[in-house]
Chains A and B, each alone.
Chain A
Amino acid sequence: MTSKIINMAERIKDAEDRLLESMFESAPIADDGFSVKLVKRVRRRLWLQRLALPVAAVLGGAVAIRPLADLVTAMANLSFSVTSIVPEELVTATAGLIPQAPFVVLGAMLLAVCLLGLRAIDD
């Protein structure tokens, strides 16, 4: 009830209010490509947001692949020296099963990038 009275009181305009309204009144501003420019800006930003993660993954992968490969090789050498104390039959049996570690890392990264790319397209 109170709010209705307040709203009514707000709607009752005196001559001064009407004069001010007429002074503040101005012709509508033509769009003139304003909205088109803005939508283009928004779309560009959306694409950048969607591309940012996959591009970062690819760049990060490109930078990290070499040290990662070195690390994996070093670990493989270390495990080889460890296996020297393990019975030889056991080592030869499992050696064929171990794939090349750098390729596994690269493959995993490519898979992750593909998945992210697919999700971006899906979005």
Chain B
Amino acid sequence: MRHSDDHQLVARIVSGQDTAAFGELVRRHQSQVRNFLRKLTGDIALADDLSQDCFMHAWDKIHGFSGRGSFIGWLLKIAYTTFLQSKRKSKRYAEILDEAGHVAEAESKLYSVQPDEVTDLDKLLAVLTDEERAIMVMSYACGLSHREISEATAMPVGSVKSVIFRGKEKIRTSFDIKDHQHG
């Protein structure tokens, strides 16, 4: 139901640049997109900036939404690309500062949780690579299917499964999940 509602809103945007329909789509999905980016970056302000960029990209590319998969899957694909682009930019900036002889204070600002705000989940996410983190968040926090994650990350379904397996393995070895499970 929600799926088709989203598709109807997209159709309204495509046919008449309906900003009200776009607003409705943003209202529906902002929480998931912002949550996804907050978990990826560990920085609320940065995640919200990236979320804004993500939705602006979505507005620009809405004609490219085929309607085959879910809208949230398509949106998270854009969010992940926006995150990777931002990370590349900040890395380049750090390199420039480094070359200029400065202390690279901008060095990978991404995933920079404040020490006093560290939660169990933050510790758990910190042992994962960006790719593993993104896929695990898409799977366990956003509830995307392996196929949807495969479309969002442009990876084969088999690779998505092995990344999830690897991520779980890392979490298992870094934290005593079984103890946690039994309290």
A-side residues, CB < 8 A to B, are 7, 10, 15-17, 19-21, 23-26, 28-31, 34-39, 41-43, 45-46, 123
B residues in contact with A39, CB < 8 Å: 19-20, 22-23, 26
Binds A, one of B67-75, B83-91, B95-103, B138-146: B138-146
B5-44 toward A: CB 8 Å interface, digit per residue (1/0)? Answer: 0000000000001011011001100110011001100000
B82 on the A face (CB < 8 A): no
Cβ–Cβ contact A34 & B48, under 8 A: yes
Would A19 and B26 be within 8 Å (CB), given that A28-B31, A42-B19 are in contact? no
Closest to A7 in B: B145
B-side residues, CB < 8 A to A, are 17, 19-20, 22-23, 26-27, 30-31, 34-35, 38-39, 48, 51-52, 55-56, 59, 120-121, 124, 136-137, 140-141, 145-146, 168, 171-172, 177, 180-181
Dominant secondary structure of chain B at its interface with chain A: helix
Cβ–Cβ contact A19 & B180, under 8 A: yes
Cβ–Cβ contact A10 & B35, under 8 A: no
